[in-house]
Amino acid sequence: MPAPIPGRHAGKVAIVTGAGQGIGLGIARRLTAEGARVVIAEYNRANAEAAAAEIGGGAVAYPVDIGEPDQVTQMVSDVVQTCGRIDFLINNAGVNKTQYMLDVTPDDWDRVQRVNQKGLFFCLQTVAKQMIAQIPDEVKAAGKAPHSYGKIVNFSSVAGRSGRPYAADYSASKWAVISITQSAALALAAYNINVNAICPGLVPTPMWTDIDRVQAARFGLDQGGWMQKSIDAIPLKRAAQPEDIAAAVSFLCSTDADYITGQALNVDGGIEMN
Ligand SMILES: NC(=O)c1ccc[n+]([C@@H]2O[C@H](COP(=O)([O-])OP(=O)(O)OC[C@H]3O[C@@H](n4cnc5c(N)ncnc54)[C@H](O)[C@@H]3O)[C@@H](O)[C@H]2O)c1
- List all residues whose CB is within 6 A of at least one atom of ligand 1: 17-18, 20-24, 42-44, 47, 64-67, 92-96, 115, 119, 155, 157, 200, 202-203, 205-208
CA distance 185 to 191: 10
Full domain range(s) for residue 254:
13-204+240-267
Please report, in tens digits, the pLDDT of each residue of the chain (274 residues total).
999 999 999 999 999 999 999 999 999 999 999 999 999 999 999 999 999 999 999 999 999 999 999 999 999 999 999 999 999 999 999 999 999 999 999 999 999 999 999 999 999 999 999 999 999 999 988 888 889 999 999 999 999 999 999 999 999 999 999 999 999 999 999 999 999 999 999 999 999 999 999 999 999 999 999 999 999 999 999 999 999 999 999 999 999 999 999 999 999 999 999 8
Residue 175 located in a structural domain? yes
> Residue whose CA is closest, atom 42 of ligand 1?
94
Residue 223 located in a structural domain? no
166 is catalytic: no
C-alpha of residue 190 to centroid of ligand 1, in Å: 31
CA distance 226 to 78: 42
C-alpha of residue 142 to centroid of ligand 1, in Å: 39
Residue 273 located in a structural domain? no
Residue 176 located in a structural domain? yes
pTM: 0.98
Residue 218 located in a structural domain? no
Residue 138 located in a structural domain? yes
Residue 194 located in a structural domain? yes
User: Which numbered atom of ligand 1 lies nearest the CA of 210?
Assistant: 19
Residue 225 located in a structural domain? no
Q: What is the CATH number of the domain that holds 68?
A: 3.40.50.720
The count of domains in the chain is 1
CA distance 109 to 95: 11
C-alpha of residue 17 to centroid of ligand 1, in Å: 9
